[in-house]
Structure 1
């Protein structure tokens, strides 16, 4: 899986199935192609942004598309709008053009993929830690708490998204958390299953500080890989942070490139 030919082939498949042919990531949102971009639009608690842009996009077309997205999100009163830029997107200076238009670049992430079946084996957990599927609002609240503890960030949007997915599209969504002997969550992760594609996406996975480096994150990856493989998905896909990327590479994930969120926040 590590030849340059495989990288190009899988990246093309990813671009086609998960970006150009993207599906809504939850109920109540829509995905549409508007000119040279594919974007998702929902409410203020949903993810709103551009997921794909035409590979033939030139400088003039890019500036026009950027202006159109700013007008779109401002007219809807959205709190923010993201253009998810990949390092192989065109034109080569698209990131600079986004910044010039008022988008702010957030931390880049590494796009990684791996065969689900290869990672579906057993993974040892630390003593006293167990995995618990998240299936209801109470579990989602614990999951959001784990997210807050791991990332020192507000978990309310995550809570909203998890509850919504569990209620309205449980067949396309998997959530799990690791809990210690006292029942407190120490790590949580999600998986989006993309019907009609070969991919399942892994999200979350942040581990509280005292439990890092003990195999908890790896166990959550293996748990989700087993479910993905059982349901016929060929690849796992991750937008990995600098913290998780080294772990995933050791597990056998292959780097396809990098992705940077560019976020626009309309003036209030």
Structure 2
């Protein structure tokens, strides 16, 4: 399937349509603002983030360092952590070094993968005893957060809070799906529909360790692909972890670039 995709063309479309895209309806308390070539998002429960236009090489060294410092100082004044979303094809090439020098720390590298939605929009195949269900209530979102905490070993309550606000602001912008077995959430994922673009984004996809390797992740992809196609979206986009990327590549999504969160946090 990936042989029909032009990764270079997909990267151009991704940059043009998704980077610096601002949803038409933002969750309560969230604001979006531009600072030169950066989009800055403020007010999320898990901190803010900035997304640069991919080529900052037009700025001289002093201007670039000042731009970075300005973001750090803005969030420092709020006492808030934030993420600078750095892509593998971003310029200038020494941008990672400049972020580290400004006090940012890189987190795990992910791969941006893109593929056509229609071939994946097939009835999900699930192991015996597992069912899929769309959810939106806070109780179900809390169950997703608890599952994520079991998978990652860290607090994920911000996830339930963020999804609740997102759904309240624009219920048609996201579909949240859980995989359940005997009343337990064993996996979950959501699809965000990006208006004015050809893309729907797949997020989540964490699965309890004892339920991995049974096709649940693929079933969640298929279910969300169906919903994306129903709404007229052509492509699926995922920021894939090292565990998910091989599965998605086998399903026909092409790797087009990488992304690394560079995170700045206020001093304890």
Instruction: Point out the more displaced range, 61-70 or 170-179.
Output: 61-70
Q: Which runs of 5+ in 2 are unaligned?
A: none
Displacement, 1:219?
0.3
On the 8 A contact 1:36/1:65 being kept in 2, the answer is: no
TM-score (norm 2): 0.93
1:37 and 1:54 in contact (8 A); partners too: no
Alignment of 1:71-220 (within 5 A): 71-78=73-80, 80-180=81-181, 182-220=182-220
Unaligned runs of 5+ residues in structure 1 are none
Per the alignment, residue 236 of structure 2 pairs with: 236
Partner of 1:32: 33
- Quote the residue 2:64 is aligned against: 62
Match of 1:223 in 2: 223
What do the CA deviations read for 1:1-60 (whole angstroms, capped 9, x no partner)? Answer: 7469821221111112211333376343122221121121115x1541111235143433
Contact 2:191 2:200 in 1 (8 A): yes
- How many Å separate the matches in 2 of 1:139 and 1:186? 12
Distance in 2 between residues matched to 1:67 and 1:252, nearest whole Å = 40
Aligned partners of 1:106 and 1:12: how far apart in 2?
25
Match in the other structure for 1:263: 263
Moved more, 60-69 or 228-237: 60-69
Call closer, same or farther: CA 1:233–1:264 in 2, change over 3 Å: same
Under a length normalisation based on structure 1, what TM-score does the superposition of the two structures give? 0.93
Aligned partners of 1:56 and 1:139: how far apart in 2?
A: 42
How far residue 76 of structure 1 moved from its aligned partner, in angstroms, is: 2.1
SS in 1 for 2:232: coil
Aligned residues: 265
Q: C-alpha distance in 1, partners of 2:136/2:249?
A: 30
Moved more, 140-149 or 224-233: 140-149
Aligned equivalents of 1:155, 1:267: Cα separation in 2 = 21
Partner SS, residue 6 of structure 2? helix
| Partner deviation per Cα, 1:57-101 (whole Å, 9 max, x = no partner) | 3433321210110111112221x0110000111101101110011
Distance 1:192 1:34, change over 3 A: same
Please state how far the C-alpha of 1:253 moved relative to its aligned partner.
0.7
**Paired position in structure 1 for 2:254:** 254
Give RMSD over aligned pairs: 1.8
Would the alpha carbon gap of residues 173 and 196 (structure 1) be closer, same or farther in structure 2, given more than 3 Å must change? same
Q: Give the whole-Å Cα distance in 2 for the aligned partners of 1:259 and 1:25.
A: 23
CA distance in 2, matches of 1:61, 1:84: 19
